[in-house]
Amino acid sequence: MWHEARKQERKIKGMMVDYKKRSERRRLYYHRIKADPTQFLRLQGVACKVYVEEDAAEIENVASALMPWQGDRSNMIDRFDVRANLDIIPEPGGIMISTEIGENAVIDQKCQYERWRTLATNDLVGLSVCLFVCHRTWYNRKEPGLMPP
């Protein structure tokens, strides 16, 4: 009798462990795929020959079907154009010059320096973002108010 109870107990315990492992794998999977949908955007193009039809071009170029690209009214695109989904791309080779003056600009520059310094240091050491955040959270709980080394 107790053999059957022990056998059933082991079976239930095994099922509970399996469910726990499965839920952990599911949680990790959904955490991994949770991101901005535009990051999954893939573009594919095919070369084609363009035939210009004067009547169709006049219909497509009416003001109601066009929108400014990146806020520039001199560059109007069709509202279904894929470029409407792209972020603003800065000009290559341009140096970023802060137009802000005063205390805010200095604070912003210091914040940018610290942000990139931390990322570069972590990359050099080989520390992933997840481990860095976990370490910083643990350290803040241990020593509140102090910066971790």
Give pLDDT tens digits for 68-114.
887 788 888 887 777 777 766 666 665 555 555 667 788 888 888 88
Q: What is the pTM of this model?
A: 0.26
Identify the pLDDT of residue 22: 92
Token output for 41: 């955007």
Residues 8, 12: Cα–Cα separation, whole Å = 6
What would the pLDDT profile of 10-60 be if each residue is shown by its tens digit? Answer: 999 999 999 999 999 998 888 877 776 667 777 777 887 777 777 777 776
Whether residue 135 contacts residue 118, with contact meaning beta carbons closer than 8 Å, is answered with: no
Interacting residues of 108 by C-beta distance below 8 A, sequence separation 6+: 98, 100
Q: Which residue has the tokens 């520039």?
A: 72
β 72-78/66-69 pair status: antiparallel
Contacts of 88 (CB under 8 A, 6+ apart): 70
Amino acid at 104: N
Cβ proximity of 98 and 110 under 8 Å: no
Say whether pLDDT at 4 is over 80: yes
Give me the residues paired with residue 67 across strands: 77
pLDDT of 149 over the 60 cut: no
Q: Which two tokens stand for residue 53?
A: 């039809």
Phi-psi region of 93 (alpha: psi -120 to 50; beta: other; left: phi over 0): left
Residue-level pLDDT at 92? 65
